[in-house]
Amino acid sequence: MKDILQKLEGVPGVRGALVMTLDGVIIASIPDEADHAAVAAFLSAVLVSIEKSAEQLNLVPLQRMTLTTSNGRLLLLPVGDLALAVIADAQTELSAVLAQVTAMTRRLLRQSKIDVTL
């Protein structure tokens, strides 16, 4: 999992990424020195808090959540039973990064079926 995440390291504009379970447990993250625990916990809280209302509005299944801020962007993509979060710059054109993320998401999905036992 870490190897796949490392594909994102060095991609222009990407500051960090993590793969987490839907209840906020981090499985892998980059860069090593970053502490993503709080972000994972809050992303998990976001998913829980919106789940019921989203279902009532037929806003399912979730494909992507993008949070754009003055200093950057946070992307959240569900991958099977896991979620991939990417923190990127606000200014950087994201299409190239998103292509990387999409490709990696597919790989993660395949790998999660093989390696991850929940």
Partner 1 sequence: MGFLARSRDRLLLPLKAGKWKHTPAPSSLNELVQALLRLGDVEQAWEVVKDGFAKFKDNDLVRELHRIVARAHAELGLKSAQKEVKEKPSATAFLRLARCAVLLRDLDQAFHALDECIRRYPTSAHGYAALAELIEQRWLRDLAAADGRLIINYLRKAWRLDGSDASRPLRLAAFLARIGAQRSALDTIEEVLQLDERHADALALRESLTKIIDAEVAAGRLNPDLNDDTDSLLRQIEEQGRVVTDPNDTARIARETEKLRAWLPILRKKTGCDHAFVLEPKGGCFDEKGQVASNPLTGLAANLARSAQITARRADLGAVIEIALETAGGALLLQRAQRCAIGLLVDDPSLAPACHEALVALVEGRLTTPTAAK
**Binding site residues, partner 1, CB under 8 A:** 38-39, 42-43, 45-46, 49-50, 52-54, 56-74, 87, 90
Cβ of residue 70: shortest distance to partner 1, in angstroms?
A: 4
Using CA atoms, how far apart are residues 99 and 35, in angstroms rounded to an integer? 25
What SS3 class is residue 75?
strand
Complex with partner 1: residue 62 or 116, whichever CB lies closer: 62
Given the complex with partner 1, which of 1 and 50 has the nearer CB atom?
A: 50
In the structure encoding, which two tokens stand for residue 2, read together?
């870490």
Compare residues 55 and 115 and give the one whose CB is closer to partner 1. Answer: 55
Q: What angle do CA 29, 13, 100 make, to 5 degrees?
A: 65
